[in-house]
Structure 1
Amino acid sequence: MPWNITYRSSKIMGRGSKNCYPPLSVDDQQEQSSIMTTTNPMIINNKNDKRQYTWDEIRRHSNKKDRWIVIDKHVYDVTNWIKHPGGQVTLNHYAGQDASEAFLAFHPNLALVQKYLKAFYIGDVINDENNDYTTDDQRLKHDFEQLRQKAISKKLFQPSRFFFIITCLHILALDFAAYFVLFRFGTSWLSYLTALLCYVIAAAQCGWIQHDLGHLSVFKKPSWNHVVHQFFMGFIKGGSADWWNNMHFQHHAKPNIIDKDPDTRVEPLFLLGNQIPIRKAQMNAKYGTNIPYNLQHLYFFIAAPLLFPLYFQFMTIRYAVQRRKWTDLAWLSLCYIKLFSLLPLKLGLLGALKFLFLVRAFEGTWFVIVSQSNHVVMDVSYDDLKLSWFRLQLKATCNIIKSPFNDWFTGHLNFQIEHHLFPTMPRHNLYKIQPDVMNLCRKYNIPYIVKPLGRSFLDILTSLEKSGRMWLHTYEDLIYATSTKKN
């Protein structure tokens, strides 16, 4: 490997994790970025009659009924931006905040999106002094912008046609093979298992390609990404592309942030991190109801396989119906028409339902263990306005060691850190930017965590067990305190 590796033990990292840094080198030739800052709490008018706002004023507009965001020192009132492609909730998460780095990360075609922003422009920040950021983070933002410009100059945001053609073809081939095996070789246990395996792999890998398309990282034109995304998510996977975008962009905007990242809102079954268990225990003690969260690391093996057959199946269709996403509904309807017009011919109706349930169960387990191994074991906390984009993503994300199998099995999300920093970068290029990301981590003393695949899966259970134990201790202490007070 082209960098030195050091080891750092941590309960969060788990045994076998690596805190890796390459030899330090900073490319000073890259274009410098602007730095955001704040000033005194007053509002003035400039010569062009465009208002100028202080950060104190901007922060007062921080809810869904009155939301302002700042991008590159320009203030936008996006309260009434109903058709924001990334969803209104994502805008809510940055209301009253500087969204400059998130804006750059999410939008590959800046010239296009800036045309839409003009309608919402209301003024500028008085000057560029944002006291939310420390001097160290100001420098980090500057260096990260240099790194982004370096990635652009090295054409790391340009997709490989060959890679994505092969990826799409192998998914379509496996989807076809599942039906071919059943119709050609019958329903013996061997052909049934072979067809099931083909369908599960096709569905799981479809999850990764639709993820690429949702991030606009396959085609240069956003419209092409959207159309093909709807096809794979709808026709192959049976879900709503818009539903996925709405949920996933929130996750990327505020990863592991309580009440903002939907991946942390799983209290009906699971409690994550150190703060949610305490909050939940307080509610349980107050209302006298609870779920045995101290056993969540055990019932994880039951809940994970049921995620897709129950939750995904229901939520994605309900979303498309409620939001009137007719294109999504058309594609996912074709998926189920295909399933229930072909599978019952060989398996019968109940057999087809059983087959689909098994596909969803295995596919869901695959997705859960990959996606959660990068996040659930990391810090889960409330929003911190003083965190730059780089620190926000590194705090909530870790990687899995690179190998041909790991790359394929995880859809290159073993490079989750790089993906979160550069969500529109094609996944086949993520490893190329990794050494530079590690340089920045070393320079600013930010942990960069890499784990073996097996270790990352085990750490999910370790993390769930720790959070469950924290809930139980807090709950028991509160119940004891309440009973003592009554006596």
Structure 2
Amino acid sequence: MTATTAHLTRADYEAIARELDAIRDEVAGDLGERDAAYIHRIIRLQRGLEIAGRAMLLASSLPPAWIAGTATLAFAKILENMEIGHNVMHGQWDWMRDSKIHSTTWEWDNVSPAEQWKHSHNFVHHTFTNILGKDNDVGYGILRVTPEQEWHWANIPQPVYNTLLAMFFEYGVALHDLELNKILEGTNDPEETAAKLRAIGRKIRRQWGKDYLAFPLLSGPQFLATLGANFTANVTRNVWAHMVIFCGHFPGDIEVFEEGRLEDETKGEWYVRQLLGSANISGGPFLHLMTGNLSHQIEHHLFPDLPSNRYAEIAPRVRALCEKYDLPYHTGSLAKQVGSTWKKIFRYALPGPRGVVPSPSPKAPAEHPVAA
């Protein structure tokens, strides 16, 4: 229990779980042809953009072709990672029973092996969202993003760390499942770590072979220009993905929790933890598409396996539920969320304030009235 949820009773949590379960069941029961058509359309768009971008880069020595080809390729890579890869690997489209668009078969255009990402993200992060010591996404192991994290002198240059992390975000994601803290503590399984490193190495060779060798060679005398274009497209995709993900997890009044909260946590309490630990980005359809609909991070954390194209229609109902139970619904423009996130990164690079995460309190009596 936190100050934000002190007014909620056991009956409130049970009611919240029932209402959110009902939303999920309703949407899941309504999935059909229009949803399948959506993901097929996005995949065709992404592949068309990638072909167009790479075709333009065959003439990459010409500045207009370089700029247009790089921008188009970056757009294609963002779509593949955000709206397709991330969501397919979450199992959002498994209901279609299409082996080509399935969480067990999809390998994304990224140096992070899909299997490792699914463990660190789908299981660890979404199960233990914002639990200090359990959710490695809180600061990604190198950033202090909340006063509840202990300050160390190494945090001082974290704005620089974060800039580099943004530029090379796919590599940070690739290393995430290694759990570097365990390696440094000597508590990891050396054989498992070695196997993961080999998988990462294979994926890096595959990605580098494609972007930094095969396609530049195809452009002949434009080899260096095409290589630079592919590098730029990858960095652009990395910076965008980093920005979207950080804006969904670190801005404003996003809350973190101590591990004791997990003890006997009910489904309603899990739902509320997702609400308090996530933030949305307000905007139009194009922004939502480019973020992989992670601009609806709250809805994604509540329903990670529902197709992303449904989050926009779910969002007003979730917001109404938050108002009903007097819970915050964190949202804001992209500029606001980016500014808020970077403000935290600069502020918590310095010592203090030292926050205290309250321990779970006994459940309040069920007779307390539901918030209006």
TM-score interval for Structure 1 and Structure 2 normalised by the shorter chain: 0.7 to 0.9
Q: Which residue does the alignment assign to 1:311?
A: 172
Q: Which residue does the alignment assign to 1:393?
A: 274
Tell me whether 1:421 sits opposite 2:297 in the alignment.
Answer: no
Contact 1:393 1:421 in 2 (8 A): yes
**Which amino acid letter does the alignment assign opposite residue 113 of structure 2?**
S
Q: Which residue does the alignment assign to 1:173?
A: 48
**Which amino acid letter does the alignment assign opposite residue 287 of structure 2?**
N
Contact 1:158 1:425 in 2 (8 A): no
Q: Structure 1 stretch 297-306 or stretch 415-424: which is displaced more?
A: 297-306
Distance 1:379 1:158 in 2: 33
Contact 2:57 2:226 in 1 (8 A): no
CA distance 1:408–1:363, change in 2 (3 Å):
same
Tell me whether 1:381 sits opposite 2:257 in the alignment.
Answer: yes
Tell me whether 1:342 sits opposite 2:215 in the alignment.
Answer: yes
Q: Which residue does the alignment assign to 1:215?
A: 90
Query: How many angstroms does 1:237 deviate by?
Result: 3.4
Tell me whether 1:195 sits opposite 2:69 in the alignment.
Answer: yes
Which of these residues, 242, 248, 253, is aligned with residue 121 of structure 2?
248
Indicate the RMSD between aligned Cα atoms, in angstroms. 3.4
TM-score by length of 1: 0.59
Q: Structure 1 stretch 295-304 or stretch 382-391: which is displaced more?
A: 295-304
CA distance 1:467–1:352, change in 2 (3 Å):
same
Tell me whether 1:152 sits opposite 2:33 in the alignment.
Answer: no
Query: How many angstroms does 1:414 deviate by?
Result: 1.3
1:136-182 CA distances to partner (integer Å, 9 max, x unpaired)? Answer: 14432344224323442354662601210111111111111122112
Query: How many angstroms does 1:353 deviate by?
Result: 4.9
Distance 2:350 2:193 in 1: 38
1:321-362 CA distances to partner (integer Å, 9 max, x unpaired)? Answer: 714998x99887655444322212326766565444323221
Query: How many angstroms does 1:367 deviate by?
Result: 0.5
Contact 1:305 1:361 in 2 (8 A): yes
Which of these residues, 314, 328, 333, is aligned with residue 452 of structure 1?
333
Specify which structure has the bigger relative contact order, considering alpha-carbon pairs within 8 angstroms and separated by 6 or more residues: 2
Which of these residues, 403, 418, 432, is aligned with residue 313 of structure 2?
432
Structure having the larger proportion of residues in strand = 1
Q: Which residue does the alignment assign to 1:478?
A: none
Query: How many angstroms does 1:192 deviate by?
Result: 1.4
Contact 2:128 2:134 in 1 (8 A): yes
Distance 2:104 2:80 in 1: 10
Query: How many angstroms does 1:390 deviate by?
Result: 1.7
Ranges in structure 1 where 5+ consecutive residues have no aligned partner = 1-132, 282-289, 475-487
Distance 2:327 2:250 in 1: 19
Contact 1:257 1:381 in 2 (8 A): yes
Contact 1:374 1:416 in 2 (8 A): yes
CA distance 1:329–1:319, change in 2 (3 Å):
farther
Distance 1:302 1:374 in 2: 19
Contact 2:60 2:226 in 1 (8 A): no
Counting matched residue pairs gives: 324
Tell me whether 1:411 sits opposite 2:273 in the alignment.
Answer: no
Contact 1:307 1:364 in 2 (8 A): yes
Q: Which residue does the alignment assign to 1:261?
A: 135
Query: How many angstroms does 1:420 deviate by?
Result: 0.7
Which of these residues, 2, 9, 14, is aligned with residue 141 of structure 1?
14
Distance 1:446 1:199 in 2: 41
Structure having the larger proportion of residues in helix = 2
**Which amino acid letter does the alignment assign opposite residue 405 of structure 1?**
F
Ranges in structure 2 where 5+ consecutive residues have no aligned partner = 1-5, 179-190, 355-372
**Which amino acid letter does the alignment assign opposite residue 95 of structure 2?**
K
